[in-house]
Amino acid sequence: MTRYQAVLFDLDGTLVSEVDGVERATDLVAAALRERGHEVDGGALNAARAEVVRSAMADNRGTWPEWLTRVEWMRRTFRQVSAPEDLAPELAAVYLAGRLDGLALIDHAVELVEAVQREAPSMGLITNGDGREQRAKLARVGLDRFFPNPLISAELGTQKPKPAIFEQALAAVGAKAGETVYIGNSYGNDVEGAAGVGMDTVWLDQAGSGSPAGAAVEPTCTASTLREVRAFLGV
Ligand SMILES: [Mg+2]
């Protein structure tokens, strides 16, 4: 039995990972453009895609802007390489399929989530990203049955590390911050964000990189595997 009333999870990099997902998906889009008669180099498309994100984030204080949907991202990327923008909706779907193909559960993710579901009064999931894409990821790896109502930034109009999304999660699970733990792999979004509203935090630091220099917040627990997270929670 865990001491926590509520256990909340991040998704990307915490329960699921992607291997070369972005590059692979961009290559699929380049191939689809060529099939439709538009000669586009995969490397050029990849560079344009990265530049669109870099520039949009720079204009939004380093965070992903809410207006940058997958389709809008494709449209702007296609504009950069002189590909037809009206193909953006269709090829955004190709891109998403490519991303999903590169998705995998992180080791021990299902056994951890099953144990938390069994042993903790409530649990939930907070993730930054597009609603359709994050729901598709959960379904792809079979985690949707554990998290039927994920809190997804684009659907809520706020994102980690802002306090509002963590506060909405507390309301959803009916727990106080002081009896809740948040588990995530991003020091800034997850550890600082959740600690900012008074939650305990577990930082999944698979690379063993240690807290960033000058970090204002120490995680309640730093773990390198989800098995260690399970031991910390006592489930
Ligand atoms: Mg993450």
174-215: pLDDT as tens digits: 999 999 999 999 999 999 999 999 999 999 999 998 888 888
Q: How long is the chain?
A: 235
Q: Confidence class of residue 123 from pLDDT cuts 50, 70 and 90?
A: very high
Using a 10 angstrom Cβ sphere, with 0-12 exposed, 13-18 middle and 19 or more buried, the burial of residue 119 is middle
pTM to 2 decimal places: 0.84
pLDDT, position 9: 98
Q: Tell me how far the alpha carbon of residue 71 lies from the centroid of ligand 1, in angstroms.
A: 22
Q: How far apart are the first and last CA of the chain?
A: 6
Q: Tell me how far the alpha carbon of residue 41 lies from the centroid of ligand 1, in angstroms.
A: 30
CB 29 within 8 A of CB 96: no
Q: Tell me how far the alpha carbon of residue 48 lies from the centroid of ligand 1, in angstroms.
A: 24
